[in-house]
Structure 1
Amino acid sequence: MTRAVLSIGSNMGDRLELLRGVVAGFGARVRAISPVYSTAPWGGVKQDDFLNAVLVVEDPAYDCHAWLAHGQRLEQAAGRERTVRWGARTLDVDIVTCAEPVAGGSRSCRSADPVLTLPHPRAHERAFVLIPWLDVEPAAVLDVAGIEYPVRDLLAKLAAGEIAGVRRTGHTLTSAGAAP
């Protein structure tokens, strides 16, 4: 079973509904959904705060590039324009890590392809990725430069201000009775 951890975010338009659209867009592939967090923008471009969450998704028919293509289709449907690096966006769907089956378990995919760099090269620096990921996978590990670290340890290395800037909201990405 190919599995991916996705970081999703929005800071334009109806942010919550755009994130809910990602959950609906991945449908039955969604295995876990983190709570929704409000976070200041990252990267120095003046813009509104983001709503962020993490999804864990699985599908035996998907490889890492299929997860990317699916996420990009959802971004395009939401009107995403890639004009300013780290700028405001209607929707951002990033693959944090992707694992593919191997005999006796799974292995984390590595890719230096500029179109799909895996694991995500800056995920370990971003509290808005690590905090919601820990909500859905408390024992999560992330490969950083070829070494696997517990996500909890990576989060502990971040500045207190970075961590404090990730604020849990009361929002959810599913309605009562909806799966998952």
Structure 2
Amino acid sequence: MSIAVVALGSNLGDSSATLDEALADIRALPLVRGVTASSVISSIAITLDGPDPDKPRYANAVALVDTDLAPTVLLAALNDIEARHGRVRDVRWGDRTLDLDVVAYGGVTSQDPHLTLPHPRAHERDFVLDPWLEIDPDATLPGLGPIAELRRALP
């Protein structure tokens, strides 16, 4: 078994309910033995042009997923869950009903264009680091160090 770190986000529709449903969907995946989820936090929308206070705020959470699914298989399953919740990919970093990202998968590193591990911007996102610290205060991001130190480095 490996522990995958999955970031969840939503800023369209009933975001809190969507995150709850997505967590249930993740728990129901084959070869998933357990899911530990953070509480939901609110964050400002980040667009290609930077933070945008005029966009709907995001509901964000992080889940630790105990799984035997390979990283790419897990990503495909998460993409299916997004699609079932109405995810449309028409604008990069646009508003979305559901966003599920594999942030880390055990100590695996990958430069695959379909799944870069660890997630290339996770260490820059308080809305990923804060919920992750809540459920795993001793976590480290492979190649970058302890999550607590990465969080302290952010403004």
1:57 aligns with 2:72: no
1:113: Cα distance to partner?
1.2
Task: Tell me what 1:112 maps to.
Answer: 111
1:141: Cα distance to partner?
0.3
- The one of 91, 100, 103 equivalent to 1:96 is 103
- Contact 1:47–1:87 (Cα < 8 Å) also in 2: no
Q: Which runs of 5+ in 2 are unaligned?
A: none
TM-score, normalising length: structure 1: 0.78
- Contact 1:31–1:58 (Cα < 8 Å) also in 2: yes
Which stretches of structure 1, 4 residues or more, deviate above 4 A after TM superposition? none
Task: Tell me what 2:13 maps to.
Answer: 13
1:119: Cα distance to partner?
0.4
Aligned residue identity for 1:115: H
- The one of 32, 35, 38 equivalent to 1:34 is 38
1:31: Cα distance to partner?
2.9
In 2, the alpha carbon distance for the partners of 1:67 and 1:47 equals 30
Task: Tell me what 2:154 maps to.
Answer: 158
User: Kindly, what percent of the aligned residue pairs are identical?
Assistant: 41
Task: Tell me what 2:87 maps to.
Answer: 80
How many aligned residue pairs are there?
A: 147
Q: Which runs of 5+ in 1 are unaligned?
A: 100-107, 160-180
Map Cα deviations across residues 97-149 of structure 1 (whole Å, 9 max, x no partner).
002xxxxxxxx111111111110000000000000000000000002xxx341
TM-score, normalising length: structure 2: 0.90
1:17: Cα distance to partner?
1.1
Map Cα deviations across residues 44-90 of structure 1 (whole Å, 9 max, x no partner).
36520000000000122x01011101110110001101111111000
Aligned residue identity for 1:128: F
- Contact 1:34–1:135 (Cα < 8 Å) also in 2: yes
Task: Tell me what 2:137 maps to.
Answer: 138
In 1, the alpha carbon distance for the partners of 2:63 and 2:9 equals 11
In 2, the alpha carbon distance for the partners of 1:80 and 1:59 equals 24
In 1, the alpha carbon distance for the partners of 2:71 and 2:154 equals 28
For 2:86, what is the secondary structure of its paired residue?
coil
Q: Give the root-mean-square deviation of aligned CA atoms.
A: 1.3
In 1, the alpha carbon distance for the partners of 2:144 and 2:150 equals 10
Task: Tell me what 1:170 maps to.
Answer: none
